[in-house]
Amino acid sequence: QYPAHIGFRRSEKPSQMLGYGIYFARSINNTLLKARFGGAIICAQVRMENVLEVTKNELHNVSNSKQWWNTYDTVYYNHESPNKDEFCINDPEQILC
């Protein structure tokens, strides 16, 4: 059996709203059209320890960047609509199952 984090790749080409990393969302219904390519929907448990929370007005601080990796392991986009919250993690090792 393989660890859960095997096969995940960071998004490292612009444009990336929360910066470069691996993206997750809280709700399936509001994320189906966000992926640029076909794929699968998975349910995962993700470890988030040092979280940088951003709102719409702060997205420019993390967009298309990996600078947040120096201090944080996760960027959390606190969307105005709770069903559209997103998370971006730095390291595939944060995916637990």
Q: CA angle, corner 94, sides to 91 and 97, nearest 5?
A: 135
Query: Which helix (H) or strand (E) element contains residue 87?
Result: strand 86-89
Asked if residue 82 has pLDDT above 80, the reply is no
Residue with tokens 């790749």: 9
Single-letter residue type at 61: N
Residue-wise pLDDT tens digits, 9-66: 888 888 899 999 998 887 777 666 666 666 667 888 999 999 999 999 999 999 999 9
Span of 3-7, 17-21, 77-81 with lowest mean pLDDT = 3-7
Position 67 pLDDT exceeds 90: yes
Q: Identify which has the larger pLDDT, 47 or 3.
A: 47
Q: Tell how strand 51-54 and strand 74-77 pair up.
A: parallel
- Full-model pTM: 0.84
